Amino acid sequence: MISIKKLRNDKDSFKSKLALKNDNTDLDLILSLDAKLRELKTVSSEMRAERNSASDAIGKAKKAGDDASAAISTMRELGENIKEIESDLQDVSIQLDDLLYKIPNPPHDSSPKGKDESDNVEVRSWGSKPEFDFTPKTHTEIGESLELFDFIRSAKLSGSGFPLYTGQGAHLERSLINSMMSHHHNEYDFKEIFPPVLMKKKSMITTGQLPKFEEDMYHTEVDNLYLAPTAEVPVTNIHRDEIIDESELPIHYVAYSPCFRRESGSYGKDTRGLLRVHQFNKVELVKFTTPESSYDELETLTHQAESILQKLGLCYRVVELCTGDLSFAAAKCYDIEIWSPGEGKWLEVSSCSNFESFQARRGNIRFRDSDNNVKFLHTLNGSGVATPRLMVALIETYQNQNGTISFPEKVAEFLGIKEIT
């Protein structure tokens, strides 16, 4: 959530920055509702003061044996007026909050300006695209021949987009999750979290999925809980409505969770095999930092996510998203994309984002500095990493002509798997 105080003081700056995200929110409407809300609060406060004075007058009149009927009538009238004002206050407050929750986080000044993904900027790359003396197969062809996953039976179970990993495919998936969790904990001292996946509405509001993207979420209507689209949701909300001492920052968490996304806007996109699914596994990195250190932490976070791909020897590139391609909540973001030789294209496996105070304001997550001032902290997160497209690139990169998969020694050591036959 943006700061309404900053919006009041610099509407034009907000408007121009939001336009960079292709957002045309009516800021004048928001400011008019804000002004009305403040006016109603003032009137309510004045009426309450009058009612208190009337109450004192009644007490004095009765004590003196005087007629208090006029003061009683005034107090009753004020009470009715206050009820009306409070009702108006609630209505305006709900309208204002609804609009504020739907405003995206303005982009950071350092994010490259652009309209869409075609304007993203490649920052660096690592490794070389693998070369074959045969035509490489796609992950669906490899998976079918080695029985790594079964999309026909998974469709019978849950419909399309819900992978069923089998045999050595299930083993590889589990090994990837365990290896990534251990790596981030052992190498970078991230604290491990194993979170629940059913979330309250407030948790989803905090991280920015609600209210704007409700149609993309899986929702259990009876209990009014949402299936987490990423471990970012439960992990960020660990400190919701808390004040953390500055000496405890930064806080670094790593969490594994299954993730659930309806992907209602995926029509027309490539949904074959593991390329775009409704349920998938992901290791998530979440950081809580001071505002002064958050952009240094973003650079470190991105390198930490990259380290997984280096351990696996996979060719990848880091792309800085332009303003028009940034997510709703991100002020700045790097995407990490791996090369898929079977598909012949780059596949995103991680987004590393700085949300600044956007999520902290929505979730009331604050810290107390050394001068005893309480401020909103900054939150960051990045996939470290998501497994579906990682598996796509992994089995396509290390495939053999005879249809088997052989991992190099260091990759095999990281995974605990030498080959798949």
Looking at residue 266, its pLDDT comes to 52
The span from the CA of 32 to the CA of 29, in Å, is: 5
Task: State the pairing for strand pair 345-354/225-227.
Answer: unpaired
Q: Answer yes or no: CATH 3.30.930.10 is held by domain 117-420.
A: yes
Annotated catalytic sites, by residue? Answer: 261, 276, 348, 351, 389
pLDDT for 269: 58
pLDDT for position 300: 98
Q: What is the DSSP letter of 328?
A: S
Nearest Cα neighbor of 179 from 171, 43, 354, 380 is 171
N- to C-terminal Cα distance for the chain? 51
Please tell me the predicted confidence (pLDDT) of residue 164: 97
Query: What fold is seen in the domain 4-101?
Result: Helix Hairpins (1.10.287)
- Look up the pTM and report it: 0.92
Residuewise pLDDT in 10s, the chain (421 residues): 888 999 999 999 999 999 999 999 999 999 999 999 999 999 999 988 888 887 887 887 777 778 877 778 887 888 888 999 999 999 999 999 999 999 999 999 999 999 999 999 999 999 999 999 999 999 999 999 999 999 999 999 999 999 999 999 999 999 999 999 999 999 999 999 999 999 999 999 999 999 999 999 999 999 999 999 999 999 999 999 999 999 999 999 999 999 999 976 555 556 779 999 999 999 999 999 999 999 999 999 999 999 999 999 999 999 999 999 999 999 999 999 999 999 999 999 999 999 999 999 999 999 999 999 999 999 999 999 999 999 999 999 999 999 999 999 999 999 999 999 9
Both tokens assigned to 183 = 């790596």
Q: Burial code of 86-124, b = ≥16 C-beta within 10 A, e = fewer?
A: eeebeebeeebeebbebbbbbbbeebbebeeeeebeeee
3-state class (DSSP) for residue 318: strand
Q: Which long-range contacts (CB under 8 A, 24 or more apart) does 15-22 make?
A: 17/106, 17/107, 18/103, 18/104, 18/106, 20/106, 20/107, 20/113, 20/323, 20/324, 21/104, 21/106, 21/107, 21/323, 21/324, 21/326, 22/115, 22/324
* 4-101 matches 117-420 in fold: no
Would you say 349 and 337 are in contact if contact means Cβ atoms under 8 Å apart?
yes
In 3D space, the residue among 12, 6, 5 whose CA is nearest the CA of residue 28 turns out to be: 12
Domain map of the chain by residue range?
A: 4-101, 117-420
Measured distance CA(326)–CA(328) in Å, rounded: 7
Please give the pLDDT value at position 47. Answer: 87
- What stretches of 279-377 show up as alpha helix (H) in DSSP? 294-311, 358-363
Is there a contact between 250 and 355 (Cβ–Cβ < 8 Å)? no
